[in-house]
Amino acid sequence: MSSTWGTNIELSIFGESHGQAIGIVIGHLPAGIKLDMEDIQKNMKRRAPGQNKMSTPRKETDEVHIMSGVLDGITTGAPLCAMIYNSNQHSKDYSLLKECMRPGHSDYPAYIKYKGFHDVRGGGHFSGRLTAPIVFAGSIARQILRQKGIVIGAHIQSIKDIKDKRFPIHMSHEEMDDLLKQQYPTLNKDIFEKMQTEIEKARMNQDSVGGTIECMVLNVPAGLGNPFFDSIESHLSSLLFSIPAVKSVSFGLGEDITKLYGHQSNDCYYFDEGQVKTKTNHNGGIIGGISNGMPIVLTVGIKPTPSISQTQETINVKTQENVELNITGRHDPCIVPRAVVVVESMVALGILDMMNQ
Amino acid sequence: MSSTWGTNIELSIFGESHGQAIGIVIGHLPAGIKLDMEDIQKNMKRRAPGQNKMSTPRKETDEVHIMSGVLDGITTGAPLCAMIYNSNQHSKDYSLLKECMRPGHSDYPAYIKYKGFHDVRGGGHFSGRLTAPIVFAGSIARQILRQKGIVIGAHIQSIKDIKDKRFPIHMSHEEMDDLLKQQYPTLNKDIFEKMQTEIEKARMNQDSVGGTIECMVLNVPAGLGNPFFDSIESHLSSLLFSIPAVKSVSFGLGEDITKLYGHQSNDCYYFDEGQVKTKTNHNGGIIGGISNGMPIVLTVGIKPTPSISQTQETINVKTQENVELNITGRHDPCIVPRAVVVVESMVALGILDMMNQ
Amino acid sequence: MSSTWGTNIELSIFGESHGQAIGIVIGHLPAGIKLDMEDIQKNMKRRAPGQNKMSTPRKETDEVHIMSGVLDGITTGAPLCAMIYNSNQHSKDYSLLKECMRPGHSDYPAYIKYKGFHDVRGGGHFSGRLTAPIVFAGSIARQILRQKGIVIGAHIQSIKDIKDKRFPIHMSHEEMDDLLKQQYPTLNKDIFEKMQTEIEKARMNQDSVGGTIECMVLNVPAGLGNPFFDSIESHLSSLLFSIPAVKSVSFGLGEDITKLYGHQSNDCYYFDEGQVKTKTNHNGGIIGGISNGMPIVLTVGIKPTPSISQTQETINVKTQENVELNITGRHDPCIVPRAVVVVESMVALGILDMMNQ
Amino acid sequence: MSSTWGTNIELSIFGESHGQAIGIVIGHLPAGIKLDMEDIQKNMKRRAPGQNKMSTPRKETDEVHIMSGVLDGITTGAPLCAMIYNSNQHSKDYSLLKECMRPGHSDYPAYIKYKGFHDVRGGGHFSGRLTAPIVFAGSIARQILRQKGIVIGAHIQSIKDIKDKRFPIHMSHEEMDDLLKQQYPTLNKDIFEKMQTEIEKARMNQDSVGGTIECMVLNVPAGLGNPFFDSIESHLSSLLFSIPAVKSVSFGLGEDITKLYGHQSNDCYYFDEGQVKTKTNHNGGIIGGISNGMPIVLTVGIKPTPSISQTQETINVKTQENVELNITGRHDPCIVPRAVVVVESMVALGILDMMNQ
């Protein structure tokens, strides 16, 4: 399935970057949830572009219009459709992009799959802009989870070679909330300046950089998830890999766990005042596909933004020739900072979907 | 869903390590496929334990009994149920494992989820032994894919710190077949000896090691997959993370792509005698969730086997005390070599499921 | 799942009768379909209310706004979101309906399920108005099916005790098109006058009537469908029973087949100029869950409109008392005529979903 | 999907009438359910053939072997695989059935769908024998539901033209249990003799008859189900139509409700000692797709057994000629009595699947 996801919470996403609107239908939300619109807008703003020179100067208000499923600010239990009208589309000529396939973009595979009928303007349905409705839906999921004591946060783990610290084994809700107050959350608060320098360097070179985001979910009860096909890892990874530009998903130490010995990678249990904990959390709170009560920790890798202004070699599918391509326009030299809240949102939706089972 | 998966091909897995039998039901196989049982047994043997000192000395015949869906060696189109009877169970006392939670194993999360009613003998339903039916199903998928010209192979990319080369950008079917003829496939044929030394060192220390497996799918046509929730990455990762002990899944260069500049990570297209190719394949043949016609490349990270004979600290859930645990019995000091064919099988099932759409 | 449906075609429905808008997201439509908007509007009009005294005088334009998935009138392959803004809501006081449960309406079960938070205005998400987006989606499905030679039509089989003829064993596409040109299609053209009299009688008594609709699908190839859980009957019935007020679904002769002997109910095959046909079609073109190449025939039973102006006994959930209820407002004395195109649309969506498998 | 079903409870069915075995995998059963095997065998026996001259003389022990998911008689939470080995297959020549398509059977549609590779022996995967694993699974579902106070029963509502009474508006659990103690449950205990005479008459004429079964579910709480695509009716009908030979499914009065006026078909609510009830139950306990707390009532129509010994006209797909066919062998002149427990089982599985949501 391309456009729908979920069992207990259902997501159906739609829209194109330069079409009428983008949006999402969220099914099976519980009735009676009072939406905190201020909190939603705060999250929307974390993702929104145009806030500084690290992101595309395109200004989008990203104002969400709720078309159904909410009455007097409270969910009714009926499907919630939220829409964001597209306002700031450039009316520029996109005919070049119908022929010249941008490297690193979905242009060519989409051209084959949709036989040339897809909307190429601004990336169409493949645009990162489609993550705005995800953040909206994720914000609602987070509000529901927070009522159950579950809190989610993420930080920029790396930009190119510049690395932040990893999450500590435990964090309080307050510490997590403090982290998320940073416009660009890093655990080592000084590191973001270096990251910014790296991004700026790329921007000056008409180039781009990528990075990684580490996300932690506090207070997930033990016993969530399943062996095999609906392991927590399977469930969350199917969502995380649907974020454009994500190329890796890992849990706990991720690939680094493969460099340990078994006596190191096994997280030993102990009773801490009657509560079961592990001394380390190399497995990221998940064993056998099921949560063990420790924080769930995961990392996603995001490739450098494919939109760069440098001249690139590619093909023209109409003339069937090798060509050179120059893309002008509004580009993010690095989308990692804006993707932090998107990762948090997807994780929130995935956890909520599993909670209801 | 825990036990079923798939849209076009349906998988339903069942069984416990020391129960009556393990098996799988495969739905929606096309009718008229003549099964190559010799090829299937060859793959089963690649996964089977007891073949050398790197793996558990438990001898299992892993003989597959087809209960339905095949007549005169040819698929009928009805669901195919394949079973492997368990023959070599030890009748030892498992009561210790009902109380003392092995670190790194599913014992504790399963204890919570199933309220103590799960089968702990040999890991029960969580046992790596459940991958045997996956290899059976994957072998059939590979036979169907091969008829469409699609060939899948994998190699041990690393054991602990010892690394093999990465796959080259192109390989012929013959080169891939040659690779798979190696009992423990590595691209650099000399490297496996070093890996073996590392494994042996762990075994002597009653310890274990993990590693990574790189898998490549040749000849997938462009246009397979979807944006968002059913991207190729989402689809395959949900399967790959259901393999016990897998902690990371990545595509193309994986996390390493985050260290490149955009002008490096973008795979530039060109016409090669009328065929569209890319000069590099850093994105692993997938852009925007859809195949671009280049080989699909992915890597999974497998943690060190949690079963180690060293004394470990843990909890006793009955006495509610912190205890020390010694696990005796048959352990693989490293499951990575046996997991190569499991990864190939999951990828085959995932690709076949998408092909039929 | 409440709000989504489908495997190859995905439907996600949303909206409330008196909310901002109602709509549908249709996923996995093939790219490159040129939409015939005139044909769509013709079908929308067949369902629309306010056209005569048999239906509610509420005037709704039912103008469809396509928000995504279509460019220059042609499907792009991305999810198609279609919305109908609600324009003609009465601002009347609905507080009575929050307390007094209308008999025959979803009020009470919804009150329990949604804990009183659901939107009661005009039936909210349960309103028959939600079938408008279904007709839109079904019209697109019919256009795609017609390109494959498959044509769908239905007629009013009965209103209360007044019965039309059953479909003949064969009909040409032209005959079916002629049938659908009737505002209220009946095979015996004279019978609708009698039906109308029955409806008018009910209306004069502040009462309502129901009826049955028979639907036929011409030219479905043999071999569509599955044994067991995805039989054609299972597949279509899950859609048909989601139409508000449908209480029965049957195939071929339906319950009447239970009154025959086996030698009568078995449809005997014969070659008709090389083509396989059956002499009768008592099984409605489906045997063992799979099409046999004969027209698919099915019948749905629709209960009398629950909205009647007569005084009715019921409960007040707030005061916990038995009360008498008078509902005023705009009611259809019979929704069967407007439901004909809804049944056709659901069948079209169901067949298309199975075609793509 | 053909072979799997369900969201909270997962079913995967397999096997052919004359293959090695038939069986079912049931996923997501709660852990800790102590199976009442005696009760299961009692239900299995209600379905089993060979008990009198009304059913096929084929003797099958239908002994269930549990391969997984149960330890010491208690469910473990892992998928439960249950198998019934086929023991009494006739080794007769089935080559005629590969060419001559039996009217009323799945032979011809299956021949087209599976290109002639399907197993024709005894109906293969289409055999009514596949309902044996359904009864096993349904029996477990009933045990779980009974713990929640929900009880399910059905009776033969009609055989050909001979009709039993309908269920009364209320029944106690004891009355329902008494009903099910009858080998062939009818509410009017005298009516079964007349039905038997009708069946015997058909048998003597080498013919067959069908009938209807009415099923009632006591004590379903209000608020179960959903509007639209997962209405209780949609959910249950997808299961009921997967029972071979079922051609109609209806709820409450079914088609008869279409002959009432609205003031009759609306079930009026009242408080009965604080409990909400309706004075009539014409809607079968379901309004707007959701339960209203009254008993759920439904009726299925089963066509006459297609296997009859009379000479029938049909086609030979090999010679491409019209031919006459005589089928000898073991036939049920009426399968309705044996289908009662199958209907109850499917309903139990459907209700349990919805309960867990």
Mean pLDDT of chain D: 93
D-chain residues within 8 Å CB-CB of C120? none
Mean pLDDT of chain A: 93
| Chains touching C (3+ CB pairs < 8 Å) | A, B, D
- State how far the alpha carbon of A344 is from the alpha carbons of A166, A234, A355, B52, D213, in Å: 16, 17, 16, 45, 52
Q: Which residues pair with residue C24 across a beta bridge?
A: C13, C82
With 0-12 CB in 10 A as exposed, 13-18 as middle and 19+ as buried, what is D151? buried
Confidence of residue A57 (pLDDT cuts 50, 70, 90): low
The average pLDDT across D41-61 equals: 74
- The predicted structure's pLDDT at residue D183: 87
Cα(B47)–Cα(B65) distance, rounded to whole angstroms? 17
- The predicted structure's pLDDT at residue C357: 47
Mean pLDDT of chain C: 93
pLDDT at B1 exceeding the cut of 50: no
pLDDT tens-digit series, residues D131-176 = 999 999 999 999 999 999 999 999 999 999 999 999 999 999 999 9
- The predicted structure's pLDDT at residue A2: 54
DSSP helix/strand/coil, C247: strand
Interchain CB contact of B355 with C (< 8 Å): no
For residue D339, give the nearest of D83, D112, D47 by alpha carbon. Answer: D47
Cα(A256)–Cα(B160) distance, rounded to whole angstroms? 9
Cα(D104)–Cα(B50) distance, rounded to whole angstroms? 53
E strands along C59-189, which residues? 65-66, 70-71, 74-75, 80-85, 151-159, 162-163
Q: What is the 3-state secondary structure (H, E, C) of chain B?
A: CCCEECCCCEEEEEECCCCCEEEEEEECCCCCCECCHHHHHHHHHHHCCCCCCCCCCCCCCCCCEECCCEECCEECCCCEEEEEECCCCCCCCCHHHHHECCCCCCHHHHHHHCCCCCCCHHHHHHCHHHHHHHHHHHHHHHHHHHHCCCEEEEEEEEECCEECCCCCCCCCHHHHHHHHHCCCCCCCCCHHHHHHHHHHHHHHCCCCECEEEEEEEECCCCCCECCHHHCHHHHHHHHHCCCCCEEEEEECCHHHHHHCEHHHHCCCEEEECCEEEECCCCCCCEECCEECCCCEEEEEEECCCCCCCCCEEEEECCCCEEEEECCCCCCCCCCHHHHHHHHHHHHHHHHHHHHCC
- Largest Cα separation within chain B, whole Å, is 72
- The predicted structure's pLDDT at residue B299: 98
Tokens of B56: 């558990």
Interchain CB contact of A7 with D (< 8 Å): yes
The answer to whether the Cβ–Cβ distance between B357 and C8 falls below 8 Å is yes
pLDDT tens-digit series, residues D301-320 = 999 999 999 999 999 999 99
- What are the backbone angles phi and psi of residue D152, rounded to the nearest 5°? -125, 135
A-chain residues within 8 Å CB-CB of D78? 227
DSSP helix/strand/coil, D286: strand
pLDDT tens-digit series, residues B247-274 = 999 999 999 999 999 999 999 999 999 9
Q: What percent of chain D clears pLDDT 70, i.e. is strictly above it?
A: 94
The answer to whether the Cβ–Cβ distance between A67 and C12 falls below 8 Å is no
Residue B202 CB coordination number (10 Å): 24
A-chain residues within 8 Å CB-CB of C3? 10, 12, 25, 27-28, 78-79
- The predicted structure's pLDDT at residue D1: 39
Question: How crowded is the C-beta side of D71, counted as CA atoms within 13 Å?
Answer: 20
Cα(D54)–Cα(C207) distance, rounded to whole angstroms? 47
pLDDT at B56 exceeding the cut of 70: no
Nearest to B320 among A13, A130, A271 (CB): A271
- The predicted structure's pLDDT at residue A335: 96
Confidence of residue B357 (pLDDT cuts 50, 70, 90): very low
Chain B: residue nearest C9 by CA? B357
Element (H, E) at A265: helix A262-265
Residues 6 or more apart whose CB falls under 8 angstroms from that of D192 comprise D156, D182, D184, D186
The answer to whether the Cβ–Cβ distance between A13 and B278 falls below 8 Å is no
Interchain CB contact of C95 with A (< 8 Å): no
- The predicted structure's pLDDT at residue A145: 97
User: Please, are residues D211 and D157 in contact by the beta-carbon 8 Å criterion?
Assistant: yes
The answer to whether the Cβ–Cβ distance between B78 and C8 falls below 8 Å is no
pLDDT tens-digit series, residues A162-201 = 999 999 999 999 999 999 999 899 999 999 999 999 999 9
User: Please, are residues A251 and A234 in contact by the beta-carbon 8 Å criterion?
Assistant: no
The answer to whether the Cβ–Cβ distance between C28 and A113 falls below 8 Å is no
Q: Which of the two residues, B7 and B319, has the higher pLDDT score?
A: B319
pLDDT at B93 exceeding the cut of 90: no
User: Distance of alpha carbon A12 from its chain centroid, rounded?
Assistant: 16
The average pLDDT across A1-27 equals: 87
User: Please, are residues B62 and D35 in contact by the beta-carbon 8 Å criterion?
Assistant: no
User: Please, are residues C289 and D106 in contact by the beta-carbon 8 Å criterion?
Assistant: yes
The β-bridge relationship of strands C275-278 and C321-325 is: unpaired
Lowest mean pLDDT among A110-114, B49-53, C235-239, D18-22: B49-53
The average pLDDT across C325-337 equals: 87
The β-bridge relationship of strands B296-302 and D151-159 is: unpaired
The average pLDDT across B230-234 equals: 95
Element (H, E) at C133: helix C131-147
- The predicted structure's pLDDT at residue A94: 82
- The predicted structure's pLDDT at residue C4: 75
pLDDT at B178 exceeding the cut of 90: yes
Q: Which of the two residues, C330 and A167, has the higher pLDDT score?
A: A167
For residue C233, give the nearest of C285, C279, C282 by alpha carbon. Answer: C285
pLDDT tens-digit series, residues C22-59 = 999 999 999 999 999 999 999 999 998 766 665 555 55
Residue C111: left if φ>0, alpha if ψ -120 to 50, beta else—which one?
Answer: alpha
pLDDT at A14 exceeding the cut of 60: yes
Give A58-95 as a DSSP string: -------EE-SSEETTEE-SS-EEEEEE---------H
Cα(D128)–Cα(D125) distance, rounded to whole angstroms? 9
D-chain residues within 8 Å CB-CB of C3? 228-229
B357 CA: distance to closest CA in chain A (Å): 9
Interchain CB contact of C309 with D (< 8 Å): no
For residue C159, give the nearest of C326, C346, C332 by alpha carbon. Answer: C332
First to last CA, chain A: 21
Q: What is the CA radius of gyration of chain D?
A: 21
The average pLDDT across D46-52 equals: 78
User: Please, are residues A166 and A298 in contact by the beta-carbon 8 Å criterion?
Assistant: no
pLDDT at D52 exceeding the cut of 80: no
DSSP helix/strand/coil, D58: coil
User: Please, are residues D220 and D291 in contact by the beta-carbon 8 Å criterion?
Assistant: yes
- The predicted structure's pLDDT at residue A7: 79
Lowest mean pLDDT among B37-46, B284-293, C63-72, C118-127: C118-127
User: Distance of alpha carbon D40 from its chain centroid, rounded?
Assistant: 15
For B333-349, letters b (16+ CB in 10 Å) and e give bbbbbbbbbbbbbbbbb
Residue C284 CB coordination number (10 Å): 29
Q: What is the DSSP letter of D203?
A: H
Lowest mean pLDDT among B83-97, B121-135, B340-354, D99-113: B83-97
- The predicted structure's pLDDT at residue C92: 73
pLDDT tens-digit series, residues C158-201 = 999 999 999 999 999 999 999 999 989 999 999 999 999 999 99
Q: What pTM does this model have?
A: 0.96
- The predicted structure's pLDDT at residue C7: 79
The answer to whether the Cβ–Cβ distance between B301 and A258 falls below 8 Å is yes
pLDDT at A51 exceeding the cut of 70: no
Q: So what's the ipTM on this one? A: 0.96
